[in-house]
Amino acid sequence: AIARALVNDPPIVLADEPTGNLDTRSGGEVIDILHNLNQSEGRTIIMVTHDPSLLAVTTTQIRIRDGQILDETIE
């Protein structure tokens, strides 16, 4: 799925639960890839997740519940 998302070299990558069905090691590898795309290539990554541990690699978080924005954090 990552290869398909990147094949046309998009400036913005949409990642819907990118680690949802993966084991811890594989999930970590996916997050490393996305983080490197952002840091080294300047791509914007928009990620939806239920895993709060992934917040550590983000610079902006928007929490949504029942279709309403609860809060926004920009670092």
* Residue 49 clears pLDDT 90, i.e. is over it: yes
Structural domain count, the chain: 1
Residue span of the structural domain in which 61 resides: 2-74
CATH code at position 23: 3.40.50.300
Each residue's pLDDT tens digit, 33-48 = 999 999 999 999 999 9
- What value does the mean pLDDT of the chain take? 93
Place of tokens 């300047």: 42
Residue of 19, 46, 51 lying closest to 32 (CA atoms) = 19
pLDDT score recorded for residue 8: 94
Average pLDDT estimate for 14-39: 94
* Residue 5 clears pLDDT 90, i.e. is over it: no
pLDDT score recorded for residue 58: 93
